[in-house]
Amino acid sequence: MQAGKLRHRIVLQAGTASQNSFGELTQTWAAISGGTVWASVDALSGREFLDSRQIEAQVDYRIRIRWRDDVTERNRITWTDPMSVAHTFEIRAVLPDATSRRQLELMCAEVK
């Protein structure tokens, strides 16, 4: 993997469940150890659909990072693009480079 292609700074986060003062379970997110990494963020496809009588948009992304063995579909990613717009991504699939263990491809969907 060429270092020049990894030009975006992302944060890998892990969720923990906790109870609030009303006894409800809530999900909180925090950066994992060493979770701020360089990545390549590419939009793959987009679509619009009708959900609860409102038009929603969804964009799918491919995010490439250097090999790590602690990234799963239970993690999420935050990223601020060059226009200073914050994005949060749900990891849908982790596709490892099994032969050389140099990179991970993370197939993601943006969370609104």
Question: Would you kindly state where each structural domain of the chain is located, as residue ranges?
Answer: 3-110
Read off the pLDDT band of 99 (50, 70, 90).
confident
Element (H, E) at 10: strand 8-19
34 or 112, greater pLDDT: 34
Please tell me the pTM assigned to this model: 0.81
**Alpha-carbon span 14 to 10, nearest angstrom:** 13
Residues 30-69: tens digit of each pLDDT:
999 999 999 999 988 766 656 666 666 677 999 999 999 8
**Alpha-carbon span 105 to 43, nearest angstrom:** 13
**Alpha-carbon span 109 to 28, nearest angstrom:** 19
Q: What topology does CATH give the domain 3-110?
A: Thrombin, subunit H (2.40.10)
Read off the pLDDT band of 112 (50, 70, 90).
confident
Sign of CA dihedral 91, 109, 32, 29: negative
